[in-house]
Amino acid sequence: MDHLFRLDGKVAIVTGSSRGIGRAIAETMAGLGAAVVISSRKLDACQEVTKKITERGGKAAATACNTGTKEALEALLDFTLRTYGRLDHVVANVAVNPHYGPLSTVPDSAWDKIMGTNLRSTLWLANMALPEIAKQGGGSFTAISSIGALRGNLAIPAYNISKLAEIGLVQNLAVEWGPKQIRVNAILPGVIRTDFARALWDDPEKERNIQQSTPLGRIGEPEDIGGVGAFLASDAARYITGQTIVVDGGAVVTSHFA
């Protein structure tokens, strides 16, 4: 049954894949046989990842993409189709959080940027990519949400709201595109040791608190998400759609009252 996890002959776009979670997912997918398009705002960083993948015998191509504009997303899709001639899978990984603090302090500009990048651009990408995936007879679209969507806090509430809305987007896209055999799911990482989440773990006390509140006793690594992202694109997940897959070491199921 190993073939169920293989991605040979498939083509995948992974946004925000020059580092962190996106890179781990792209490298895992390439290791399972997919041709991956590495994209982020900085082309040189994408080319570095592409080089690493190809040196290991994988297939990858790099292009710069600022997902905040339709034109850039259209160019990303065009690059993929010109390079590989098809599209089977997308992982929407780009997110921003320019503001820390309660909702009462969020400037309109920060709110608009968070919602525009984390939600609207994901919808744009889906509306562009899903018709191409449908031409192949089906495939997958995976959004990287967050366990922050499942609970409130005072540190990053606007970001959490955008990620909860992204789950709603995934569920509705799953219903819309299911008849075309396209599966749409969300991965909800916990605290992962990435530059994006550095403010949540980058001091000994914060790291200790996370470890103590996580049953597995550690902060997540990007590779912990890589396999889940690849799995959701594979035939092993062919009957999974509209779901939120929590990958957090058990943090959200841990009671803090006993």
Q: Which residues are catalytic?
A: 159
Q: Are 112 and 164 in contact (CB under 8 A)?
A: no
Q: In Å, how far are 162, 219, 250 from 70, measured between CA atoms?
A: 19, 35, 37
**Neighbour-count burial of 68, counting CB atoms closer than 10 A to its CB (0-12 exposed, 13-18 middle, 19+ buried):** middle
Sequential DSSP letters for 177-238: HGGGTEEEEEEEE-SBSSSTTHHHHSSHHHHHHHHHTSTT-S-B-HHHHHHHHHHHHSGGGT
Q: Which two tokens stand for residue 154?
A: 């005072």
Please state, in angstroms and rounded to a whole number, the distance separating the CA atoms of residues 175 and 163.
19
